[in-house]
Every structure is written in structure tokens, then in C-alpha cells.
Structure 1
Amino acid sequence: MNVRRCIVGAVLALSSAAAAGPMARAAASPLPGASAASPLPGASAASPLPGASAASPLPGASAASLLPGASAAPLLRPASSLDLSELRAFLQRIAGDKASSFEVAWIPPEHGKDVFELEQRRSKIILKGNNGLSVASALQYYLRNYCHCLITWGEHPALPSVLPPVSQRVHRVTPYTYRYYLNYCTFNYSMAWWDWNRWQQEIDWMALNGINMPLALTGEEAIWDEVYTDMGFTREELDRFFCGPAYFSWFWMGNIDAWGGPLPAHWMVTHKALQQKILQAERSMGMTPVLPAFTGHVPPSFASRFPGAKVKKTNWGAGFDDVCILDPSDPLFESIGRKFIETQTRAYGTDHLYSADSFNENVPPTNDSAYLSAMSKKVYASMAGADPAAVWVMQGWMFHYNASFWGQPQIQALLRAVPDDQMILLDLYSESHPVWNRTDAYYGKPWIWNMLHNFGGNISLWGRMSAVAGGPHAAGSGASAASGKMAGIGLTMEGIEQNPALYQLMLDNVWTDSAIDLHAWLDAYALQRYGQYNEQARRAWHLLDSTVYDGGLGEGGPESIIVARPTTDVWADRVRTKLDYKPRDLVRAWSMLVAASDSLGANDAFQYDLVDVTRQVLANYATPLQQKWVLAYLQHDLSAFDRYSDAFIALMSDMDSLLSTRKEFLLGRWIGDARRCGADTAEANLYEKNARDLITLWGDKESGLHEYSCRQWSGLIWSFYLPRWAWYFADVRGKIITGARMETDDVDRRIRDWEWNWVNAHDITYPEKPSGDPVAVVKALYKKYVPLVDQ
């Protein structure tokens, strides 16, 4: 391409409200089915246990539904609950025309823990479990270890034409009572625009992996609306309270009001119904969803309507307005909290697990232990007043985020005010920054070891595999007396649908009571993910483990300088580029995957990994390339500046073309899903603005959170990141020619105006389907870039 022409075109685009017009994309061709395979060699398939009891016949009774009006359920599902109709539908979704090859049977839990068994009975494969998710986990075990078929986010490979037999009975018991899933932020960074079909896929994936304690926040705005409407607040008052759909997480946590709104009534109606379907599906598989409780966040006009109320204003920062928080000592706090749970229970039922974080990324007004203890008692009382069986599920994030405030006396005061069996702590960031080991395991409270890993839904190959493979067992084993009442493990990432290997590794702790042998696990994973053995792919995964997955303690993975606001600095504002490994070592893994593409290129999961590793190699190369044009600028070398700035733009264009070959990396899907949530054009436009804003500026054009949720997506690169850099290069080039001083503030101001115009635009239809052959595109880029990056 003519890069100079690209720069000129992009500069012209910056002067308008939107970049270039829509780009047509062709749909990807279907993938061939996987071939039949023998059971996984070297896998940890268990031999039959001499003392194991035979499975009892499947009881005819199904699990009780907890739809509106149903009675409260116990904390854990009844041991004998299997929903036959749901399991038949589940098998049909996962196994398709092979569903009739499987039969389901109930077995009792062991020592109060979930259990599954897998065996062959004549022509049938028998899946046994004490609940739906245990049965699903038995199916997952079979698919992975016998069929070499691994279902992850976005990949659902076909089963073999002939199902391999189960040679010996498999028996597994989880050591963990709770397997927690989701973070408040996940509901926006990844799930903001999900419909029922996408939720059904996620619930199936949760069941396959043994998750039994999902956070369930969808549709909560309808509950808030009913509570505050009943208290007399007008529609106008609530319009100044409710935020837009992309920002609910921070509204629920009491950080912001109104941003991205006003919220249409249609959204509340549809998502209340969606939440009821989500909860019914989760409960039918034996899960115990966690619903929110009241934490004091009230409408801005609350003090005017209730003049004597103890309302304080607090500010989250990042340029947002103050929000109003009702003090727990105010009598209204307990009554509103009780009303909130009663209203929620009528709509959604209850499993008695309630999430509440009174000071998420905000500091209490005092560090006085007596105040913190009294506040904690009041918050719990507001739950227990409506539900005497209430269990408070608290995120431990604030103890890390505001560690200078939360010393041991403050944490003890907060936690010890609530009975031990009525509170569960989420150690949110255990793999990198645990809190349990500096709080005497949360002073006797049950707690859960979690992997946070991802911030903002950003795209980066990164993680700490060794910490994930051994950390849960090391914390919960008998050798660690300091672990107290560790009761489970979980995933608390801010964004999903990235780094599937790391998340599978973490979830594989669910059904093992020992540390995972990472070397053997990687060998098995390469086979299961691609459906066949390939030596180059196997070796590549071991290199990935020693590079991108041997990460440090930074908050999330390194990003690329291309997503930063243009700068001459290596350390851009809000964009981290420091790597924990040598880029050349990742190139070796890339070379191995390219070599494996001749054998594995038709496999969908392999295509994703090949594109993702290529993306990371190119993203890494952007930094040394940036430093070359920066040096040329400093030396007033116009020829070198043109050469390297052209190469930088070309790199971005190549990345966009690469990412356009995979559905997972398309801006068009994100915006298209948002627009489809709207009942009319006005709503669709509002949701599109929410969708655009969250992944770019996060707030207004002066937002301090810009690029926090940056994405390396096709469409976002060519219409947002590339034009910003092109304008910047044109400005710098002019300074080199004239010798004028570069005024960064002036450039930034103009770029911010253009960014805000982009956020508010609706005149581009971005492709929602991938185009091009991923393997062919990668091979062409490998030929072009490997001489440049392998240095």
C-alpha cells in the first residue's frame, strides 16, 4: 500500500466525525469435523476405585425451580437434584446427533463435595454426577481425554464420527465446595450486549468446567427502579441516576451515576426477563448464583426527598461527578436494604448468597475500628432482615487496592462484625497479590482463591501459569495451616474471551486435589485443543509457557504502543508496554506454529491461536519501531522519519487485516450486538455510543480512564488508532521541516476533540463477519516480518 497516501487520508479523516467507509467482509467457511481419536496417552485418567459405590438409578424428580414466587433454596443444591429435561437439552447442544450415545445417572456427593463418574455400559457412555454440573463435568472429561475435543470460549469442535469407548471407570471428587465465577466488571467489559443465546453458551461452558457459584447481575437495574419508584422518586430523578448499559458495573458498585444514560425502560423490561432465564438455567444445572445486596448507593436527589437522612458524597475520580451514599447507621439503610432483597427475591428467587462491597475503590470516612464494625453489622442486618439465611459474599479487592487504609485492625473490625458462617471472602487477586496470607486467612472466615488476571478486557497474551497450576493446592493443602477456611477457587477477571489456555488451566484445578504438573498439562492441552498430536505445536506451547505465560506482578498483560494516544515516550499514558520476556523468544514459538499450520491449519482453535500469537508478535514489534522514528525526529532526519513512520502505519494496517480474519477480533460484532439491543434507532444509537466510549475514552474527552479498556480489534485499529497516529506523524513531520517546536498539548487537544466525535458517530457499519484465510494471511505476514522481529 502507499503509506504516505494512507497518512494523508487519515489526516483528512481526522477532520471529520468518522473515518473511512464500511469494509465488506466475507463469512468464514465451516470447518471439517475432528477425526476419532484414542484416549489421551499419559493423561491422569483415574483407575476404578475399589471402595467406590455403584451409581443409583436416576430419580424421577427434577430440581426445584427458583423462579418468581418459588420458595427459598438451601445454600447448596439438594444432593439428589438432577433436572432431566435440562440435561437432555444440554447433551443435545453439546453432543448434537451423538447425544443418544450418552446416559445420565445420579450418584450421591462425597463428604459434601460434588462428584462425577464416567464409565461404559454396553454401547452407552454413562455420565454420573450428584447434580447437573457434575454430569456436565463428566462429559467434559470424556470429550477431552477420549475424543481430544476441548470446548472453550468461541470454539466448539465436532465430535468424532465414532465415539471412543471408555476403557475403565473414572471417578473424580472436587476438593472445593465453591467454584466462583465472574467479576462485576465482566458484565460490561465482555457481557454488556449478550442475548440469551450467548448466555446459554456461557452457562453450558460453566457447567462443563464445574463452576457452581456464578455472580448474577443481569437485570438488577429493574430491581433498583422498582425500589426507588416505590419510595416516590420520579422518572426524571431516576434518569439522573441510572447510567447506560455499558457502565452498570460501576453504577452497581456505587462509583458513578447517569453516565451513558438515560436508561430506556425497554432495557429494564427485556433484561429482567433475561435474568430470569439465566437464573433458571444456572439453578437447573446445580449452580447457586450470587445476587447483589444494597450497599447505600442512592439517587442524587435522596437528601432533598429525605432531608434528615445521613447522606454523604463521595467521588471515584477519573472526572466523574460525586455520588451519594447513605450511611449504614441511618435507619433508612436497613429498611431500603430489606426492601431491595424482598423485591429482588420476588423477581429472581434467592440462593441466599449476596454480593456487597460498600467501599469499592473508595475510602471510608474514618479508619476507626468501632465505626467500621458498626457499619459492617448494619450492612449485614439489611440482608438478614429480609433473608435470615443470608450469606454476605465480599470482594477482597479493596484490601489490595487501598492497602494503605486497610490495615489489620480495620480489616478485622469489618469482618469480625459478621458471624463466620454468614460471610465468604473473595481473595480476588490470589495469583499475584493475595490478601489471605497477610490477614490470618481472613480471620476465620471461609474464603475463595481467585485468579483475576485480566483488566479492562484488554487483549494481551499474558499470564502466570506456574502460579495458577500450583497456587490453589499450595494454599489449600494441609501443608499450609495458614490457609484457614479456604473453601473454593474461582475466576474474577474483568474481561473474558482471551487467553483460553490460562483459564482452562485454572479451571482444571476444580477436579484435582494436587498441584497440576504444568509440563504434562501443556502436552495434553495441545492435543486436546487441536484434536491431533503435532510436535511443533506441542513445543510451541512450552515456549509460550516460558514467555508470555511467565508474567510478572503487573496489573494485567502488556499492551501495544499502537493503542496509546500518540507519544514519543515508551511508557504511554495508561498503556503499559514493558515485556516480561525477550520478544525474540516469542518469535520462536510463532515460527513453530507457522510450521504446524500445514497440518493443523483447518482446525478452528489452531487458527485462533495462530492469529493471536501473530498479533502479539506484531504488537511487540511496534515499540522498537516507535523508537526508530522517535530517534529520527530527535536527529531531524526526515528521510529516516518517513521510513519508520510509514512502517509503523503499515504495521497497524497489517494487524487490522490479520485480525479481520477472526470473529473474536472484530469491532463490528461489539457494535452490532449493542445496536441490536435497541428497540428503535434512538436506543440503538445510545447503545452504540456506550459501546464505542467504553473501549476508547471510557468517559468524556477529558477522561482519565482513556484506553483502560483498549482492544486490538479490526475496525478499531483502522478507524480509531491509525488515524490518531497518522495525524500525529503529519504534525511531527511538519515540525521537522520547519524546525518549529513540537507543542504536544495542542496536538492532544485536537486529537481529543476528534476522539469525542468518533465516540458519537453512527455512520459506519463495521463488518461483523471475518474475511480472508487466517493461515494464508499469517504466512504472508511471517514472510514479511520475521526478518525484522527475529533479531
Structure 2
Amino acid sequence: MYGTLDAISSGPVDARISKNSTMVGVGMCMEGIEQNPVVYEFMSEMAFRKEKVPVLEWLKTYTHRRYGKSVQQIKEAWAILYHTVYNCTDGIADHNIDFIVKFPDWDPSINFGSRPSKLNSMHTFRSRTRSRRFSFQERSSDLPQAHLWYSTHEVVNALKLFLAAGNDLAGSLTYRYDLVDLTRQVLSKLANQVYLDAINAFRRKDVKALNIHSQKFIQLIKDIDVLLASDDNFLLGTWLESAKLLAENPSEMRQYEWNARTQVTMWFDTAPTNQSKLHDYANKFWSGLLEGYYLPRASSYFSYLFKSLEKNESFKLVEWRKQWISFSNKWQAGLELYPVKAQGNFLTIAKALFDKYLS
């Protein structure tokens, strides 16, 4: 989830009325779509606006239109999302990094490498003593950086409000989409911190802690996959079947499925021990892709970390790459079927995951 609603509310108007303006209209040129619906709806509407829009007031009417009724908890939740997730103002463009779907390719025995100053600090979840609740902190690190521009604590509160509106909106498909997406957002940021906890345990040569954190990371992948499976918009199967439907013969069908699998994973300019420079470029939080593709990658990586500690030897990065790339190539050529219909009760699943990880 990502957006700059304040910029959208004023940018087109400022451009139109600026000195010597040659602006003739408003348009969008997206490399990717089918995410963050509020951003696209707001930007589309700005083509018909002559004055700047007060975003908070606009969101109140937007939520009524989107869910079919006005619910106080939803209004409060969107007010939080407006000032957090949808208010990125730090100028960092690469906001599409979560370690589940964009797994760091590095040897954790050494520093990850220098980063631009804006990336030298990161916001993290930190667990409290004798509690599963997570709070928001900021710290410097030589570890991989996941871009985070908002208070996770506030967004957890927004999720709590969304869940509280479930009795009123359980029948709304747009509510289902937004609740699943918001729950995924919160848990993916938690997973980022769990990954870093695992890496720090490895660096301390703490096998017990590495086992705890790596297993938690793996479990988060499994749980998020179940969550995503509860909404039709987050299914790998839909993507693959839509590609296959374009084929006119079996040969084309296999090619189109390979294309679809390759685009969202490794791409194709790989070598036996070097991933494509575009790997994970088009990563997706889709059910089926998490458990079928991202989970084996993380499991393999953690397995090599354990071997390194057990044998008291350096991390075998090249060997891990070789194993992982081989698996990826086989997966891209696979023909296994994935569901195209949602499974499970989204509200029950989201509530259970909130209680499990955030209560």
C-alpha cells in the first residue's frame, strides 16, 4: 500500500494555474495497476476538479461510495491511513520492498553495504517483554533496508478499526478487499522485522534465536497466504489462467503460462549462480505465489544459515543461489494448478491473525 494523496489533491490544480502553464489535461501512465484503488479513483477525479480538494472530507464520501454505507470506524480508519500509508513525502521512490516477496540476496556475515543517507534509518517493529504486541521504533542499521515512511503503531490501530466494522460491512466485496490488503500490509511489515531478528541471531551465532525467528518468518508467509486466499483479487491462479486463455493451441498455452510465471518471479536473464537483475521486480502478494514460490526460497536460505552455524563455516551464498535459481527455473516451467476462487472467511481469518500477532 502506498500513495501521496496530498500531492494528488493539489498537484494538477497547481500545474494548471502555474505561470506559463501549457497543461491541457490530466492523465495517468501506470506500469502496474490493480492496487491502491483510492489513489487511482482520486487521480481520475482530479481531471474534473478546478480547485484543490480537502482530502479528509473527500475520503468520507469515498468510503460511503466504496462500501455502500457510512460507518464511523471506517471513517476513523481512513483518517489514519490518509496521514500514514497514503502520505509518503520522503522522496524515496523504491517503496516496493518487503522481504517476503523481495528477499535479500546477500551474505549476512558481512555488512549489506552502504546506503544513501535517506535509507540509513528504518522504522521497525520491536516486541515488548512478555507480550506479542509490537511497537514502532526507528534505528540505524547496516542490514537490508525496507522502506517504511509511517508509524506502524498507527496503522495497526487503523486495522483494529477496520475489523470493528466487520459486522456492518461483511457483505461488501470492497470492504473484503481493503481489509485483506490492510491486514497483509501490517503483517508484511512485521515480517520485515522478524527477518532482521533472524539475521541478527545468525550474526550472534545464536542457533536457538535463529530457529525461533526463522520459523516465525516462515509461519507469517503461510498465514498471509491463507489470508490472501480469502479474496479473489489476490490469487496467483487467476493470473495464470488468464494468460492460458489467450492461447490457441497447447504449445501457446505452455508458453503463455511460462511467460506469466516468469514475469512475476525471476524473469529470464539468469545464470546458474546469478539471479536476473530484474528478479522480484514484479513481485506480488498473491496466494499460491507465497506458499509455492517465496516460502521455499526463504526456507532454503534459512537452512543454509543453520548449516553455516552448525559447521562453523562461512555462509555458502553461491551454493544457495545455485539451489534457489534451479528451483525457480523449474517452478517457472511448472504446470501445477492454483485456485481461481476465494477460500475461507476473510473476516474470521483477519481477526485470528490480528489476535495471533498483534494482540
Normalised to the residue count of structure 1, the TM-score between the two structures is 0.40
Letter in 1 for 2:249: D
Q: Deviations over 1:225-281 (max 9, x none)?
A: xxxxxxxxxxxxxxxxxxxxxxxxxxxxxxxxxxxxxxxxxxxxxxxxxxxxxxxxx
Q: Which residue, 16, 25, 29 being the options, matches 1:476?
A: 16
Are 2:318 and 1:739 aligned? no
Q: Which residue, 563, 577, 581 being the options, matches 2:101?
A: 563
Q: If you compute each CA radius of gyration, which structure gives the higher value, 1 or 2?
A: 1
Residue pairs, 1:674-685, within 5 angstroms: 674-685=243-254
Q: Which residue, 174, 178, 181 being the options, matches 1:605?
A: 174
Q: Deviations over 1:490-510 (max 9, x none)?
A: 111111111001111111112
Letter in 2 for 1:504: E
Q: Which residue, 457, 463, 466 being the options, matches 2:6?
A: 466
Q: Which residue, 54, 58, 66 being the options, matches 1:517?
A: 54
Are 2:89 and 1:554 aligned? no
Match of 1:779 in 2: 351
Q: Which residue, 291, 295, 305 being the options, matches 1:722?
A: 295
Deviation for aligned residue 1:672 = 0.7
Letter in 2 for 1:715: G
- Structure 1 CA distance, aligned partners of 2:36 and 2:145? 18
3-state DSSP class of the match of 2:27? strand
8 A contact 2:94–2:147 mirrored in 1? no
8 A contact 1:570–1:577 mirrored in 2? no
Residue pairs, 1:106-185, within 5 angstroms: none
Letter in 2 for 1:561: F
- Structure 2 CA distance, aligned partners of 1:731 and 1:566? 14
Deviation for aligned residue 1:535 = 0.7
Q: Deviations over 1:346-368 (max 9, x none)?
A: xxxxxxxxxxxxxxxxxxxxxxx
Instruction: State how many pairs are aligned.
Output: 322
- Structure 2 CA distance, aligned partners of 1:769 and 1:570? 40
Letter in 2 for 1:783: D
Q: Deviations over 1:544-599 (max 9, x none)?
A: 0111101132335333111123554889x9x9721111211211111110111121
- Structure 1 CA distance, aligned partners of 2:209 and 2:200? 9
Match of 1:634 in 2: 203
Letter in 1 for 2:98: S
Match of 2:339 in 1: 767
8 A contact 2:264–2:282 mirrored in 1? yes
Match of 1:587 in 2: 156
- Structure 1 CA distance, aligned partners of 2:177 and 2:15? 34
Q: Which residue, 671, 696, 699 being the options, matches 2:268?
A: 699
Are 2:158 and 1:618 aligned? no
Deviation for aligned residue 1:747 = 1.1
Q: Deviations over 1:765-786 (max 9, x none)?
A: 0111110111111011111111
Normalised to the residue count of structure 2, the TM-score between the two structures is 0.86
Deviation for aligned residue 1:745 = 2.0
Q: Which runs of 5+ in 1 are unaligned?
A: 1-460
| CA gap 1:639/1:556 in 2 versus in 1, 3 angstroms | closer
Match of 2:256 in 1: 687
Deviation for aligned residue 1:695 = 0.7
| CA gap 1:748/1:550 in 2 versus in 1, 3 angstroms | same
Q: Which runs of 4+ in 1 moved over 6 A?
A: none
3-state DSSP class of the match of 1:708? coil
Q: Deviations over 1:468-526 (max 9, x none)?
A: 0111001102xx114x2100101111111110011111111122211111111011111
- Structure 2 CA distance, aligned partners of 1:555 and 1:670? 26
Match of 2:42 in 1: 505
Deviation for aligned residue 1:731 = 1.4
8 A contact 1:698–1:709 mirrored in 2? no
3-state DSSP class of the match of 1:580? coil
Q: Which runs of 5+ in 2 are unaligned?
A: 116-143
Match of 1:756 in 2: 329
Q: Which has the higher strand share?
A: 1
What is the RMSD computed on CA atoms of the aligned residues? 1.9
- Structure 2 CA distance, aligned partners of 1:638 and 1:485? 63
Percent identity over the alignment is: 32
- Structure 2 CA distance, aligned partners of 1:708 and 1:576? 16
- Structure 1 CA distance, aligned partners of 2:54 and 2:71? 20
Q: Deviations over 1:618-666 (max 9, x none)?
A: 1111111111111111111111111111000000000100000111110
Q: Which has the higher helix share?
A: 2
